[in-house]
Amino acid sequence: MGDAPERPSTRVLASLGQRAGEVAHDFDNSLTAIAAHATLIRGATDDPEVLEHARAILRAARTASQVVERVRAMLRGGEKHERVQVDVEALADEARVAVAARGDKRGVTVVRRREGHAATVAGDPAELLQVVVNLGNNAVDASPDGAEVAIVTADTLDGGAAIVVEDRGAGVPDELRERVFEPFFTTKGSHGTGLGLALCRAIVERHGGALALDPRRGGGTVARVALPLAGDDVPAPRHATSVAIRGVGLDARVLVVDDDDGTREALRVLLEAAGFDVTIAADGTSAVTSFATRRPDVVVSDLELGEDDGGAVISQLLAIDRAVPVVLASGKDAPVGAPWVARVSAILRKPVSPVELVATIRRLAAQRRGAMAGADTPRRESP
Amino acid sequence: MGDPEKPDFHAVRGALNGVVLQLEVIRLALDKGDDAMARRALAAARDAAKTAAERLDAAAAKVGE
Ligand SMILES: Nc1ncnc2c1ncn2[C@@H]1O[C@H](COP(=O)(O)OP(=O)(O)OP(=O)(O)O)[C@@H](O)[C@H]1O
Ligand SMILES: [Mg+2]
């Protein structure tokens, strides 16, 4: 396991490394422009055929920007990484919840089994969570409807910790066993980026571990992550809450609209720590401009925006994209009966608990992503 | 915005919201060992708390009248 001198994927990544940052940046800018225009087209037409094409462009642009994000994540290897104690059981539990959401749609159940001792490894909790979630998603994708996926924690032979993801799918053909780890190798066409396993392997190896995919007896695949246990010198995460705050941001873009400088900045810092890609706006005009160009997945807005009325701003955003989830943070009750209130996804009363805010955004982003991944975005009936 | 005659307790909540968020930022800064960030958030938390107190006083004064 893991002792091959240098895999092609590692070389490919190393050579990509140099200019990838700049390229990714330029690429992302172009994507933003493409998406912004597609959004405008979508808002400007009632022609179902044009709408359909505009949506297809948006989906493609979105997938492409996820690719950019994942390439970036993969290349972050050189940077300094946070290493804290990570409880393997808790990590697997949390991953199960995320993977189960994907399984739900197809009646695939995701179960947890504990076969080893409680173990603590040293690592970046968000990254390790991403690994298990990616492997779990692959397992769900490979599973027939109604099948079972298991996330198992176990001991390795050399005294380390293992997280194993088992499925009863078609398995990986022999000749593809190493190729599946290559960046951009996918058999899912436009539904996959082919970066999942490359990213997982890069992360696991950065953690001094190994990742292997093997056939499962009786059919299916066993993905096995082996990690060394944490040494005594590894610090515990200092606060339970901030671990809850941190985690996968689901690649989601969040637009924060708040007129108070301190609040806006605090929200940006906290949501970025939670893994979201955050844009901020202080008033209605910049919110609308930013919304049209950045296409956030979730909007968090204050109800009182100084001169502007938060409700009016939210109505404008919903006019651009009627399916965008909006989280309203408010010191008072939202005006009952205002037409936009019914379209707000969540209302959080101030003072807002940061943990609850993060959980709400994560849930909405996951739902939104699920809806966008479907062949058709649900269409609202015209009034 | 608010009715000038009525005490605005919502505004107090708004300021308290700022305090809660800054506390979380401080927690994050401590986690990261980022002293400068912690100090900035501390100052912001203090400001927000002061604003909350002022708004509370203003609201209380209106109740008293
Ligand atoms: N559990 C599995 N069973 C069968 N095939 C798998 C499994 N996991 C991965 N594969 C194969 O490996 C390929 C590459 O996986 P990888 O996670 O890198 O990308 P992807 O899943 O196609 O795309 P993405 O992860 O971006 O959605 C998949 O397209 C699939 O063919
Ligand atoms: Mg995958």
Task: Give A85-139 pLDDT, tens digit per residue.
Answer: 888 988 898 788 778 878 888 899 999 999 988 889 998 877 888 899 899 999 9
Instruction: Report domain A84-233's class.
Output: alpha beta
| B43 in A contact zone (CB under 8 Å) | no
Q: pLDDT tens digit string along A2-26?
A: 444 444 455 555 555 545 556 666 6
Domain ranges of chain A: 84-233, 253-373
Residues with Cβ within 8 Å of A322's Cβ and at least 6 positions away in sequence, in order, are A343, A380
Residue B4: strand, helix, or coil? coil
- Which of A59, A68, A138, A182 has the most ligand 1 atoms within 8 A of CB, as the residue to mutate? A138
- Inform me whether the pLDDT recorded for A378 exceeds 80: no
The 10s digit of each residue's pLDDT in A341-377 is 888 888 888 888 887 888 889 888 877 776 655 433 3
pTM of the model: 0.52
Q: What is the pLDDT of residues B13-56, one digit of tens each?
A: 888 888 988 888 888 888 778 888 888 898 899 998 889 888 88
The ipTM estimated for the assembled molecules is 0.84
CATH superfamily entry for domain A253-373: Response regulator (3.40.50.2300)
**Surface of A (320-349) touching B: CB under 8 A:** 329-332, 349
Task: Give pLDDT, residue A72.
Answer: 67
Chain B residue with the nearest C-alpha to that of A308: B1
CA of A160 to the centre of ligand 1 (A): 26
pLDDT at A274 over 50: yes
Distances (CA, A) of A22 to A26, A28, A30, A279, B43: 6, 10, 13, 20, 36
Q: Which of B20, B22, B31 sits opposite A239 (nearest CB)?
A: B31
What 8-state DSSP symbol labels residue A225? E
Of B12, B21, B28, nearest to A263 by CB-CB distance is B21
DSSP state of A299: E
Ligand 1 pocket, residues with Cβ under 6 angstroms: A 134, 138-139, 142, 167, 169, 171-172, 180, 185-188, 192-198, 221
C-alpha span between A239 and A241 (Å, rounded): 5
Neighbours of ion ligand 2 (CB under 5 A): A 138, 196
Hey, how many other C-beta atoms are within 10 angstroms of the C-beta on B13?
Answer: 18
**A245 and B24: CB-CB below 8 Å?**
yes
Instruction: Please check the confidence at residue A313 and state whether its pLDDT lies above 60.
Output: yes
Please state the rounded mean pLDDT for residues A68-77: 66
**Chain mean pLDDT for chain A:** 80
